[in-house]
A and B are shown apart, each in its own frame.
Chain A
C-alpha cells in the first residue's frame, strides 16, 4: 500500500557532529537503526518540530513542515504527530484515562474504546502513572499518541526500556498497531527482531549520516553494523510462515517451498505466524547429514561471507523466491569447513531453537 511521501532534508548541528539526512520515504514503516549517539533521537525530534535549530526541508504529503529557505516552520502542535519517546513521559499529575484524553484532538476521537481493547488498557484507566509497570507505561504512551489522531507515529526505541520477557509482550501490540491503523511510522530500534518484524525499510545512521538503507535484512547484515545489531542476543532471521499441520509435540509450517518443524504452537491450520531463527543457532554442514536429532535440514547456497577475525556472518540463499538467511559462525569453523561463495551446503537447526511470534 502506498502512503503519502515523507521528504526529509534535515541539517542540524549536534555536539560533536552534524546531522545531515536526505531521504524520501513512502511506505508504511521506516526503521531507524544505528549505534547510540548517532543522531537518531535528534532526527525524530526534528520531524516532530521539537528542534528549532534544525534547518532544511521537511514535508509530508501536501504539508510543508519546515523550509528554512523561506523561514517556514510549522510548530509541533500543528503537525499532528504522535511521538512516543523512550521514557514514555506520561503526565504524572494525571491518571491513565486523563493521560489518554490529554490532547485537544482526542475529544472528537472515537478511538478510545478501540484503543483500550487493542492495547488492553481497560484495567489501567483509573490508575496513577506511578502505579504502572514499564510495559504498562509503554502501552499508555502508545495509546495517548494514537488517541490524538496522529497523521504519523514516531516511536523512539519502543522496547528498549523493557526486559526481554516484556519485549515479547509489547511487540505483538506494535504489530497490531501497524496492521490496524494504516498509519505511517518511524521506529528507532536497536533490535534486529523488531526491525525485521515491523519495518518496510530501514536506514542505518552513523555520526549523523545515512550509511545504509534498504530492507532490514540488507542493512542489519552489513558488516559495519554487525556488532551493533548483535550485541545481546545476536542476529535473528525472521520468517513469515503458514501453519500446515499440527501434531502432539510439534507444528509443521510451510515457508515458501520449504517445510519447517517448529515447537508445538496453538494455531489453526492455515494461520500465518512469524518465527525467529537466531543466526547463532544455525549449523552449516557441507553435506547432508542423517541420523540427527535436529529435524530441520535445508539445502542452501552461500552468497556472502562477512565479518571480522572472531565472528563471521554467512548469508545463504535457500530458495529463489525467499530472502536469504544469515548464519553466524566462528572464524575458525569457517576455515575448517573451507566455506566459499557459491558453495552448496546444508543448514541444520533444532525446532527448540526457534522463537514463535504472533
Chain B
C-alpha cells in the first residue's frame, strides 16, 4: 500500500516537473508558429509533431542512442557523464519529449484564436511587440494555454514506451504508474494492478475534465 502511494506520488512529481520543463519552450514555439511565417516553418512543425505519430518505443530508442556512452550527448562525445540513463532524469526527458508536441499544438491553436489585429492595436497604443504579447496575446490565450499544459501533464502521467526504454522499470527508482501497472499485470498481481488502474482513471478523469471546462466557456464567449 505504502509502495503504491510512493509510485503515485513520484509519478505526479515527475509529470509536474516535465510539464514545467516543457511550459516555456512550448509556449514560445507555439506563438512563433501561430504568428510568424518563415521558410522552415513547415519542416519545424512536422519535426516537433513526430513523437505524436512514432511508436513511443521508437522515440525511447532514439533517446537511448542519443544519451548512450557513444551517442551525440553521451560520455565519450561530451567528455563528462550526465548520468541520465535509468535515473529519474531519463523519465523527465522521455516525458518532456513525448508531451512537447501535444502542448505545442494545443497552445498554437489558442494563440491562433487571438485576433492578431488586437496585437496591432496594442502596438499603435504604444507597446513594443514583447509587451503586446504579455498584455494581449498571453491573457487572451491563457485558458487554452492552461488546457494545453493539463493535456501535457496527463501525457506525462501516462507515458510508458519511451520511459521504459530510457529509464527502465526499476521498482523504488524509476517505476511509474504506467510501468507499475505493466509489472503487476505481468506478474499476475491482479489486486495491485486494479488499485493502480483506479488511481490512473481518477487522475486522468480529473485532468481531462478540468481541461474541457477551461476550453468550453471560451468558445461560448466567442458567440456573444
Interface residues of A (CB under 8 A from B): 48-50, 75-77, 79-83, 85, 87, 89, 91-93, 102-105, 130, 144-145, 148
Given A91-B136, A92-B140, A130-B221, residue A85 in contact with residue B123 (CB < 8 A): no
Q: How far is the CB of B123 from chain A (nearest CB, A)?
A: 4
Q: Which of B112-152 contact A (CB under 8 A)?
A: 115, 117-118, 120-128, 135-136, 139-140
Q: Are A93 and B140 in contact (CB under 8 A)?
A: yes
Given A50-B120, A130-B221, residue A105 in contact with residue B126 (CB < 8 A): yes
The interface residues of chain B lying within 8 Å CB-to-CB of A76 are 120, 123-124
Given A85-B117, A130-B221, residue A50 in contact with residue B127 (CB < 8 A): no
Q: List 22 A-B contacts (CB under 8 A).
A: A48-B124, A50-B120, A75-B123, A75-B128, A76-B123, A77-B123, A77-B127, A77-B128, A79-B124, A83-B124, A85-B117, A85-B121, A91-B121, A92-B221, A93-B140, A102-B122, A102-B125, A103-B126, A104-B125, A144-B125, A148-B125, A148-B126
The interface residues of chain A lying within 8 Å CB-to-CB of B136 are 91
Q: How many A-B residue pairs have CB under 8 A?
A: 55
Q: Are B117 and A89 in contact (CB under 8 A)?
A: yes
> Which secondary structure characterizes the binding site on chain A?
loop
Of the candidates B115, B126, B139, B224, the one whose C-beta lies within 8 Å of that of A77 is B126
The interface residues of chain A lying within 8 Å CB-to-CB of B224 are 130
Q: Are A77 and B221 in contact (CB under 8 A)?
A: no
Among B120, B126, B127, chain A packs the most CB atoms within 10 A around the CB of B126
A145–B124 Cα distance when bound, in Å, is 9
6 more A-B residue pairs beyond the given contacts A89-B115, A104-B125, A105-B125, with a C-beta to C-beta distance below 8 A: A76-B124, A80-B126, A81-B124, A85-B117, A89-B118, A145-B125
Interface residues of B (CB under 8 A from A): 115, 117-118, 120-128, 135-136, 139-140, 221, 224
Q: How far is the CB of A327 from chain B (nearest CB, A)?
A: 42
The interface residues of chain A lying within 8 Å CB-to-CB of B124 are 48-50, 76-77, 79, 81-83
Q: Are B121 and A89 in contact (CB under 8 A)?
A: yes
Q: How far is the CB of A38 from chain B (nearest CB, A)?
A: 20
Q: How far is the CB of A245 from chain B (nearest CB, A)?
A: 48
Q: How far is the CB of A104 from chain B (nearest CB, A)?
A: 5
Q: How far is the CB of B50 from chain A (nearest CB, A)?
A: 33
Q: How far is the CB of B221 from chain A (nearest CB, A)?
A: 7
A75–B123 Cα distance when bound, in Å, is 8
Q: How far is the CB of B110 from chain A (nearest CB, A)?
A: 13
A25–B122 Cα distance when bound, in Å, is 27
The interface residues of chain B lying within 8 Å CB-to-CB of A50 are 120, 123-124
Q: 10 tightest A-B contacts by CB?
A: A103-B125, A76-B123, A83-B124, A130-B224, A89-B121, A104-B126, A76-B124, A103-B126, A77-B126, A105-B126
Q: How far is the CB of A272 from chain B (nearest CB, A)?
A: 34
A305–B6 Cα distance when bound, in Å, is 93
Q: Are A93 and B117 in contact (CB under 8 A)?
A: no
A239–B222 Cα distance when bound, in Å, is 44
A145–B126 Cα distance when bound, in Å, is 11
Taking CB as reference atom, which chain A residue is nearest B142? A93
Taking CB as reference atom, which chain A residue is nearest B121? A89
Q: How far is the CB of A181 from chain B (nearest CB, A)?
A: 17
The interface residues of chain B lying within 8 Å CB-to-CB of A77 are 123-128
The interface residues of chain A lying within 8 Å CB-to-CB of B221 are 92, 130
Given A89-B115, A89-B118, residue A104 in contact with residue B123 (CB < 8 A): no
Q: How far is the CB of A144 from chain B (nearest CB, A)?
A: 7
A102–B123 Cα distance when bound, in Å, is 11
The interface residues of chain B lying within 8 Å CB-to-CB of A144 are 125
A76–B120 Cα distance when bound, in Å, is 8
A93–B121 Cα distance when bound, in Å, is 14
A79–B115 Cα distance when bound, in Å, is 22
The interface residues of chain B lying within 8 Å CB-to-CB of A103 are 125-127
A50–B140 Cα distance when bound, in Å, is 21
A77–B127 Cα distance when bound, in Å, is 6
Q: How far is the CB of B192 from chain A (nearest CB, A)?
A: 48
Taking CB as reference atom, which chain A residue is nearest B115? A89
The interface residues of chain B lying within 8 Å CB-to-CB of A89 are 115, 117-118, 121
Taking CB as reference atom, which chain A residue is nearest B222? A92
Q: Are B115 and A93 in contact (CB under 8 A)?
A: no
